[in-house]
């Protein structure tokens, strides 16, 4: 269980007052989020509430127009409320910071012209300038931990969705990230493949990895998350332990959301109990 | 009667023309590729000015008939610049600039056809613009670009016949020359057409096969 894994209190992520807009549409309306080392934070919310957008702000795939972002005590972003920079990092610095965050996408986004092994080696070799031998050894280790040792030389097109997503997790982990970001990692999977990906994520969480996970798998949230954060129309309106947020929702919109997903959470229970 | 001797007795002139045609075809394709690469990629850069330069270049040379471009470079440009431009250089420049604009479009389209998720994934790994172009985007884009690039290059060989309008002695020019003193246009122009068919039909068939293999492979 979450409580039994080692937790220190060092702050890995500290987002304050994050505002993001696309054109005139304000998608994030001042989001504060702190994540401690080793914590698993699950981000839930209705479609269009801004979950993906928030996740993409963390590694600056989206540029907020206001707010502040610290990763592991390092200030990577700071804009005032008028979109002016308080700090402006050169692209090289931003890329370096990005390389310390791993991201897993709903659509996997593996590199189709590379094998599973090459996908996992790509970041360490090209971005971190590691030697091929070192990167290969680490990649093999990670792929094995994902149960993919049989598939290292296959291209993504030859792998099932569940296998592809596990390669994607290994690819993120290969960068030795300070935090792993997951955007609905099981939403594009056939139902029978969801379990294997969740299992890999559970193992990751138990190993002490700091994780921010957008998911509709409330069963996963309930069992694994240290905190569940509910996003509603670009604002965080609930943030607390899973039992509190999911079982005793106070905010009416959160209540509605949780009730709607209650059934699917029940359906997942057998898998999580069998773990 | 079809008089073969017109062709056999002038084969050297025809061969010279063929050589010139191939020379301009290959040369302008090579230079055009370099131009197209630059003009295609700058349109994808985040810098507005570069994007406009690329756009203007493409629309300019794509929409002026090649014959007009060739005549203009050979006859009009020297007047503007006050320098002499040989017909060889004028022809080479016209052909290269023309095909470069088509290559640029193919390149831009090819890169833009690569899924956005590929950019997201490589950016998330911390790759720079150059790294992700070189390692992730271009390798995927080039696969898709090969058929249209090859198709455009085949058209380029046919386009070289326009060089005869500025008196570059290509295959067609040599044909006209031979027919001017033999008075046998039927034989000569038939032979010229046949040479294009002999070279381009096999290339087209190979291209189609590659294309089919490509589609099947994905
Ligand atoms: N690149 C973009 N350009 C314009 N609008 C965008 C863009 N990305 C997201 N949006 C808008 O921002 C809002 C929030 O989108 P976001 O993808 O963050 O929601 P989400 O909570 O992840 O939803 P879902 O559960 O459907 O994935 C939506 O209204 C969406 O239309
Ligand atoms: Mg989303």
Percent of chain B residues past pLDDT 90, beyond the cut:
80
A93 is written with which tokens?
Answer: 């610095």
- What letter does residue B161 receive in the DSSP assignment? G
* Position A265 pLDDT exceeds 90: no
DSSP label at residue A22? E
Q: Is A122 on the interface with B (CB under 8 A)?
A: yes
Q: Is residue A142 part of a domain?
A: yes
Q: Do the chains contact at A109 and B127, CB–CB below 8 Å?
A: no
Judge whether residue A75 has pLDDT over 50.
yes
Number of domains in chain A: 1
Strands of A74-79's sheet, edge to edge? A25-36, A11-22, A66-71, A74-79, A85-87
Q: Any idea which ligand is nearest the CA of A53?
A: 1
In a domain, A240, yes or no: no
Residue B218 has pLDDT above 90, yes or no: no
> Could you tell me if the ipTM is greater than 0.90?
no
Return the ligand 1 atom nearest residue A184 CA: 27
Burial classification of residue A77, based on how many CB atoms lie within 10 Å of its CB (0-12 exposed, 13-18 middle, 19 or more buried): buried
* ∠ Cα A254 A257 A260 (to 5°): 150
pLDDT at residue B217 in the model: 42
- The answer to whether B131 faces chain A, any CB pair under 8 Å, is yes
Which phi and psi (to 5°) does residue A102 adopt?
A: -100, 140
Q: How far is CA A24 from CA A27, A58, A65, A235, A261, in A?
A: 9, 21, 12, 17, 31
* Residues of the domain holding A151: 107-176
Q: Where are the beta strands (DSSP E) in chain A?
A: 11-22, 25-36, 40-45, 66-71, 74-79, 85-87, 101-104, 179-183, 211-214, 227-232, 235-240
Q: Whole-prediction pTM value?
A: 0.82
Tell me the best of A18, A27, A233, A253 to mutate to test the pocket of ligand 1, counting ligand atoms within 8 Å of each CB and taking the most: A27
| Under 8 Å between Cβ of A168 and A110 | yes
Residue of B nearest to A174 (CA): B125
User: Which stretches within A146-251 are classed as H helix?
Assistant: 161-173, 191-206, 218-224, 242
Q: Does the beta-carbon distance from A98 to B136 stay under 8 Å?
A: no
Find, in chain B, the residue whose alpha carbon is nearest to that of A91.
Answer: B128
Task: Say if B218 is an interface residue toward chain A (CB within 8 Å).
Answer: yes
Q: How far apart are CA A61 and CA A54, in angstroms?
A: 10
Number of H helices and E strands in chain B, helices first, is 11, 0
Q: Which of ligand 1's atoms lies nearest the C-alpha of A216?
A: 25
Q: Does B213 touch chain A (CB under 8 A)?
A: no
pLDDT digits (tens, 9 = 90+) for B2-59: 888 888 899 999 999 999 999 999 999 999 999 999 999 899 888 899 999 999 999 9
> CA A63, CA A84: separation in Å to the nearest integer?
12
Q: What is the pLDDT of residue A86?
A: 67
Query: Among B115, B123, B218, whose Cβ lies nearest the Cβ of A61?
Result: B123
For A185, the 3-state DSSP assignment is: coil
**Helix %, strand %, coil % of chain A (to 5):** 40, 25, 30
Burial of A120 (0-12, 13-18, 19+ CB in 10 A): buried
pLDDT value of residue A273: 61
Distance from the CA of A22 to the center of ligand 1, in angstroms?
A: 9
Structural domains present in chain B: 5-217 (1.10.3720.10)
Would residue A261 count as lying in a domain?
A: no
Q: Is residue A196 part of a domain?
A: no
CA of residue A157 relative to chain centroid, distance: 24
Q: CA B175, CA B17: separation in Å to the nearest integer?
A: 8
Task: Note the pLDDT tens digit of each residue in A104-157.
Answer: 999 999 999 999 999 999 999 999 999 999 999 999 999 999 999 999 999 999
């Amino acid at each position: 269980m979450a409580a039994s894994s080692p937790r220190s209190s060092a702050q890995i992520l500290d987002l304050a007052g994050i505002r993001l807009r696309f054109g005139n549409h304000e998608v994030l309306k001042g989001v504060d989020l702190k994540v401690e080392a080793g914590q698993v934070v699950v981000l839930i919310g209705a479609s269009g509430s801004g979950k993906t957008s928030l996740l993409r702000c963390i590694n600056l795939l989206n540029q907020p127009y206001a707010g502040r972002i610290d990763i592991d005590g390092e200030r990577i972003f700071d804009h005032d409320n008028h979109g002016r920079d308080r700090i402006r990092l050169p692209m090289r610095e931003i890329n370096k910071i990005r390389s310390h965050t791993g991201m897993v996408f709903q659509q996997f986004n593996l590199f189709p012209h590379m094998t599973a092994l090459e996908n996992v080696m790509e970041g360490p070799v090209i971005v971190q300038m590691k030697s091929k031998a070192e990167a290969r050894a680490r990649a093999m280790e990670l792929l094995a931990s994902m149960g993919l040792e049989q598939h290292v030389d296959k291209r993504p097109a030859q792998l099932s969705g569940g296998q592809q997503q596990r390669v994607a997790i290994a690819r993120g982990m290969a960068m030795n990230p300070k935090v792993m970001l997951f955007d609905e990692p099981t939403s594009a999977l056939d139902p029978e493949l969801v379990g294997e990906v969740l299992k890999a994520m559970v193992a990751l969480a138990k190993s002490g990895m700091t994780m921010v996970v957008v998911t509709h798998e409330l069963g996963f949230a309930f069992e694994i998350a240290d905190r569940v954060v509910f996003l509603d129309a670009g604002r965080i309106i609930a943030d607390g332990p899973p039992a509190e947020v999911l079982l005793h929702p106070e905010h009416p919109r959160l209540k509605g959301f949780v009730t709607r997903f209650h059934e699917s959470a029940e359906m997942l229970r057998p898998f999580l109990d069998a773990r | 009667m079809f008089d073969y001797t017109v062709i056999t007795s002038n084969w050297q002139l025809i061969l010279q023309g063929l050589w010139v045609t191939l020379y301009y075809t290959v040369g302008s394709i090579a230079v055009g590729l370099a131009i197209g690469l630059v003009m295609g990629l700058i349109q994808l850069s985040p810098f507005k000015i570069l994007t406009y330069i690329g756009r203007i270049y493409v629309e300019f040379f794509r929409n002026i008939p090649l014959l007009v471009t060739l005549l203009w470079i050979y006859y009009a440009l020297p007047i503007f610049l006050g320098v002499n431009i040989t017909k060889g250089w004028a022809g080479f420049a016209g052909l290269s600039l023309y095909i470069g604009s088509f290559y640029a479009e193919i390149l831009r389209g090819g890169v833009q056809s690569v899924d956005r998720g590929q950019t997201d994934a490589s950016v998330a790994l911390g790759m720079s613009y150059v790294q992700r172009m070189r390692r992730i985007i271009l390798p995927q884009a080039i696969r898709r670009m090969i058929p249209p690039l090859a198709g455009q290059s085949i058209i380029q060989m046919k386009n070289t016949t326009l060089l005869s309008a500025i008196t570059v002695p290509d295959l067609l020019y040599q044909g006209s020359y031979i027919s001017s003193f033999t008075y046998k246009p039927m034989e000569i122009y038939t032979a010229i057409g046949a040479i294009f068919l002999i070279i381009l039909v096999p290339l087209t068939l190979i291209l189609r096969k590659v294309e089919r293999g490509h589609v099947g492979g994905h």
